[in-house]
Amino acid sequence: MRIGAIWIGGLALWIGTLSLVLWLWTSDDLPPALLSGAAVALALIAVFAATVSEETGPRTLARSSLPTVVLVFGLAMALNGLAFGLFLILIGAEVAALGLGGLVLQLVNERRARG
């Protein structure tokens, strides 16, 4: 079993437990239903991650990549900007552009290293 599937399955179990507690303590149906749906979706992703076979060919990107994290962090900031204002959308877009540029540089360097 893969370590990623275990982590995602644990997160599904944690969110499922939180949704169960929310079902017991609230009279509103929407928040616990959303958490339950997220737990089921994560459980399905964990099952898929545990059963899919990994390709053994060469990878186009590294296994760990800081620009990928920067890109996703910038996108998350931009999405939070929908609630907090235009300034956060613009800052998030700038951070995402920085991450995208880093990914392009990483891809170019890896292609040069291959020949």
Mean of pLDDT over the chain: 88
Show the tokens assigned to 39. 């737990």
C-alpha 1/C-alpha 51 separation (Å) is: 8
Q: Are residues 87 and 110 in the same domain?
A: yes
pTM above 0.85, yes or no: no
Measured from the Cβ of residue 40, the count of other Cβ atoms closer than 10 Å reads 14
Q: Are residues 36 and 72 in the same domain?
A: no
How high is the pLDDT of residue 62? 61
Q: Are residues 46 and 77 in the same domain?
A: no
34 lies in a domain?
yes
Low pLDDT (below 50) residues in the chain: none
58 lies in a domain?
no
Q: Are residues 71 and 43 in the same domain?
A: no
Contact 5, 44 (CB under 8 A): no
C-alpha 2/C-alpha 23 separation (Å) is: 31
59 lies in a domain?
no
Number of folded domains in the chain?
Answer: 2
Q: Which domain holds residue 12?
A: 3-51
Q: Are residues 106 and 78 in the same domain?
A: yes
